[in-house]
Amino acid sequence: MSAGEAIVSVAGPVMNFILAIVFTIIYFAIVKFIPSFTVSQIGFYIMLMIQSAAIVNIGLGVFNLIPLPPLDGSKIFRNFMSYNVKTWLDKYQNYFYIAFLILWITGLAGTLISPIISWITTGLFNIGEMIFGL
C-alpha cells in the first residue's frame, strides 16, 4: 500500500465533503437571494432535495472514512500504521470484511457515525447561516 494509493483513497471522501459544501452554499444562496422561491410548493421540495444532498454527501464522506476494508478509510490510515500493525491487519483482513458486513447489516455503522454526521451537518449549516447573514 503506497502513499499514492492513500491519496487516491482520500479523493472520494474529500469530494463528498466538497459536494456537501457546494449544496449548502446553493441552499443558503437561494434562501438569501430568492426567498420567495422557498415558499412555493415546488421550491420547498427542491430545497429539501438540496438539503438532503448535502446531508447524504456528509454521510458518505464520514462512512467512507471508517478504517475497515473495503472502505477508503482502511487505505488512508494504513500509511500511518507500524509494520507490525499492517502485518496483523493483513493476517486478519477477512475478519474485518465480516465485521464490516455485520456493522452494515445490523445498522450499527449508522448508529456509530450518526452523531458525527449530525455534528458536521449542524456545523456546516451554522457556517452557511453566518456567511449569508441569516
pLDDT at 1: 56
Average of pLDDT values for 18-37? 94
Residue 20 neighbours by CB distance under 10 Å: 22
| DSSP H or E run through 95 | helix 93-106
DSSP secondary structure letter of residue 111 = H
Measured CA distances, 134 to 48, 125, 128, 129 (Å): 18, 11, 8, 5
Name, in order, each residue with C-beta under 8 angstroms of 20's C-beta and a sequence gap of 6 or more.
53, 54, 55, 57, 58, 61, 124
Percent of the chain with pLDDT over 70: 99
d(CA 128, CA 101): 36
Per-residue pLDDT tens over the stretch 94-124: 888 888 888 889 988 888 899 999 999 999 9
pTM equals: 0.84
Per-residue pLDDT tens over the stretch 42-72: 999 999 999 999 999 999 999 999 887 778 8
Domain enclosing residue 32, as ranges: 3-131
Q: With bands split at pLDDT 50, 70 and 90, how would you rate the model's confidence at 126?
A: very high
Q: How many domains does the chain have?
A: 1
Phi-psi region at 69: left, alpha or beta (left = phi > 0; alpha = psi -120 to 50): beta
